[in-house]
Structure 1
Amino acid sequence: MHVAFYLNVPAPWPARSAYLCRLLAKAYASGARVWVVVAPDEVALLDQALWTLPADDFVPHVRSDAPELLLRRSPIVVAGPGDAMAGERGVLVNAQPEWPAVLDGAPGFVRVVEVVSTDDADKTAARRRWRRYQALGLNPVVHDRTRRPATAAEGP
């Protein structure tokens, strides 16, 4: 499994949702099947943001409470932290501060993308997740939006 931390994503919701929409549009364009986890109060907000993209940037998706047939067929599912995963997914995007519980019950992700905002509490939580990935024998990489790429040893 490849793990990447994307650091210094804007913290306030409208800017952060725009970043997530671009990330998910890129994943969809590449053919990826994505399970994206956001805070419970952000599920509806991200769903709405994706539906309001311009027609030429359409990103087909469903929320995790959709009927199972839609969950299995949709390329992108927007979920809260504790939602059970349905359908095969190759990419997990974790855009909330906790360890994504779906990793404990659904091995098989090829790629995990951790989205870390500029918020200090979010950075602290990301450091805990980073150490957990390392304890699993994984070497996450960092993509910092504001500076040179960090080495895997540096962490978030």
Structure 2
Amino acid sequence: MPEIAFHTQVPDRLAHACRVARKALRAQRHLAIVGSAEVLERVDTMLWNMAPQDFVAHCRADSPEHVLQASHIVLALPGQAVASRDMLLNLGDDVPEAWGEYAQVVEVVSADDEHDKQLARQRWRRYRECGHEPVKHDLGQKTV
């Protein structure tokens, strides 16, 4: 049963996605980032332009097999197959098709985009309807 985490109150969803990718790579985890073509294009550019010490090598789901074999981070459109089922980072509007095959699912929710928050609520309900209890990580909470 996958662990489902919602990272909420995120000021910049794509910058947060890049940090999650960097952390996954450093932990030698395989990560699929799913989103629209526009979102993936922006994430792709951001990952290539990180600081040299933070470089996150990655590829697209339609890359040649030898590139996919060498890559821990794969950018995929909704419905595109990804071989590794370790970790899924969803930047799409809907729950990805193969989410139940992953060990961990991470949803990233904007701090100030009401439409994104509404879609996230729908995804939360969908996971619950499937018998899973997502865990909320509120990144907007201040610690004392």
TM-score (normalizing by structure 2): 0.88
CA drift at 1:28? 0.9
Q: Which residue number in structure 2 is paired with residue 153 of structure 1?
A: none
Whether contact under 8 Å (2:17, 2:89) holds in the other structure is: no
Calculate the aligned-residue CA RMSD, in Å: 1.6
SS of the aligned residue for 1:139 comes to: coil
Q: Distance in 1 between matches of 2:141 and 2:78?
A: 29
Runs in 1 of length 4+ with deviation above 3 angstroms?
none
Deviation of the 1:147 alpha carbon: 2.3
Structure 2 residues not aligned, in runs of 5+:
none
Question: How far, CA to CA, are the matches of 1:44 and 1:89 in structure 2?
Answer: 22
The reply to whether residue 146 of structure 1 matches residue 143 of structure 2 is: no
| Residue equivalent to 2:131 | 137
Equivalences, count: 140
Once the 2 structures are TM-superposed, how far is the Cα of residue 69 of structure 1 from its aligned partner? 2.5
Report the equivalent of 1:124.
Answer: 118
Name 1:70's counterpart in structure 2.
Answer: 67
Relative contact order (alpha carbons < 8 A, sep ≥ 6): 1 or 2 greater? 2
In 2, the alpha carbon distance for the partners of 1:101 and 1:5 equals: 17
CA distance in 2, matches of 1:80, 1:108: 16
The residue aligned with 2:50 is 53
Residue-by-residue CA offset, 1:87-125 (whole Å, 9 max, x unaligned): 22300000122111232xxx4311000111131111111
- In 2, distance between residues paired with 1:64 and 1:91? 15
The answer on whether the counterparts of 2:33 and 2:91 sit within 8 Å (CA) in structure 1 is yes
Q: Which residue of 1 aligns with 2:27?
A: 30
One-letter code aligned to 2:128: Q
Instruction: Tell whether 2:94 aligns with 1:101.
Output: no
How many Å separate the matches in 1 of 2:101 and 2:14?
26
Quote how far apart the aligned CAs of 1:82 are.
Answer: 3.0
Pairwise CA distance, 1:30: 1.1
- Say whether the 8 Å CA contact 1:94–1:100 is kept in structure 2: yes
Q: Alpha-carbon deviations, 1:26-55, whole Å to 9, x = none?
A: 111111100011222121211111111112
* Alpha-carbon distance, 1:131 to partner: 1.1
